[in-house]
Amino acid sequence: MLISNAYAQTAGASGAAGGLMSFLPIILMFVVLYFLMIRPQMKRQKEQKSMIDALAKGDEVITAGGLLGKVTKVTDAYITVEVAAGTEVVMQKAAVTLLLPKGSIKAL
């Protein structure tokens, strides 16, 4: 005949341990992924949120659009930023990317 018979293999003694060992590399990859990518990103988000919550009148900021200015008014969701003498822009708090040290912007 052209097709040979298939016989079942006998189970070895390391059946349960071998199954766990085959998943070990995948588990290690997730642990490394957590510590190298997920955890630092969560830390950055927490720092960004605390910086946005701490915005106050007189702070000097850089926005996501690249505008530099001084905060003149703060509400719950919006801030007013003076980008030039007499020119104010209203934007969302989330648009602020960086809080500058006092006195960084001298032109205003």
Each residue's pLDDT, cut to its tens digit, for the chain (108 residues) gives 577 777 777 655 555 667 778 889 999 999 999 999 999 999 999 999 999 999 999 999 999 999 999 999 999 999 999 999 999 999 999 999 999 998 888 755
CATH of domain 56-100: 2.30.30
Whole-model pTM? 0.66
1-5: long-range contacts, CB 8 A cutoff, minimum separation 24: none
Q: What is the dihedral of CA 65, 68, 72, 74, to 10 degrees?
A: 40
